[in-house]
Amino acid sequence: MEKIVIVNDKMQRRYRYRLVEPAGKNFPSDFKPELSPKEMLRLGVFGGKYMTDCQKEFPADWFTKAKLSPEKYDARLNYFKVRASQPLAVWRARGWINNEHDPRGWFQWYCRYWQGRRLPEEDARQISRWKKMRRHVTQVKKNCRAGDIFCRPRQRQALLHWAYDSRSI
C-alpha cells in the first residue's frame, strides 16, 4: 500500500514523495547497509545536527535515543568524538547533492530510501557513492590491528555516516 509523504521543514516546502516499498526491505543485492538510520542516529553521526528540524517526516522511535544537537554541530556526540564530515556547501560545490529531492545529501536520501521511497536514477547514483566508501573499510583493515576500535577514528566515523558499522572492523 503506497503512502504519500509531504515534507515541510527548513530546507523543503511542500515536497512530496511516495513510499512504494516496506521500510527497510527490498534493497538491491549489491546494497547491504550495515546500520539502519535509527541505529546511526543512536550511535552518533553528523555531530547531532543533521535531523533536528525534520523529525516529523520519520518514525518517532528513530529519535527516542538519538544524539541530536539542534543549535550547532557537536563532534562530542559522534560515536568516535571527532569531526568527520564536510560542510554542506562543499557537498553542493562537488555535485554530491540532489537539491530537488534530498537537499541534505546522502543520509537524507538513505532515510527516505529506507522508508520505501524509490527514485531509480537517484537511487543508482547514491548506491554507487555508498559502494565507493568501501575503500575506507579496506584502509582501516589494512592499517589497524584487529580489535583496535580507536585506530583511524575519523575514517571510522565517516564510515558510520555511510551505514558501515566501523566498530566491527
What is the Cα–Cα distance from 104 to 107, expressed in whole angstroms?
Answer: 7
Average of per-residue pLDDT values in the chain: 94
Q: Return the pLDDT at 85.
A: 84
**Confidence grade of residue 89 (pLDDT, cut at 50, 70, 90):** confident
Average pLDDT over residues 42-69: 94
**Confidence grade of residue 87 (pLDDT, cut at 50, 70, 90):** confident
Q: What is the pLDDT of residues 25-41, one digit of tens each?
A: 999 999 999 999 999 99
Q: Return the pLDDT at 57.
A: 96
Q: How many domains does the chain have?
A: 1
Burial of residue 153 (CB within 10 Å: 0-12, 13-18, 19+) is middle
Average pLDDT over residues 8-19: 95
Whether 1 has a pLDDT exceeding 80, the answer reads no
Which residues make Cβ contacts (< 8 Å) with residue 58, sequence separation at least 6?
37, 51, 111, 115
Which residues make Cβ contacts (< 8 Å) with residue 73, sequence separation at least 6?
46, 47, 48, 49, 83
Q: Return the pLDDT at 83.
A: 95
**Confidence grade of residue 102 (pLDDT, cut at 50, 70, 90):** very high
For residue 163, count other CB atoms closer than 10 A to its CB.
22
What is the Cα–Cα distance from 115 to 102, expressed in whole angstroms?
Answer: 14
Q: Return the pLDDT at 137.
A: 96
Name which of 3-12, 95-104, 145-154 the model is least confident about.
Answer: 95-104
Domain holding 18, by residue range, is 3-168
Whether 46 has a pLDDT exceeding 90, the answer reads yes
Q: Return the pLDDT at 145.
A: 94
Q: How far is CA 54 from the centre of its chain?
A: 14
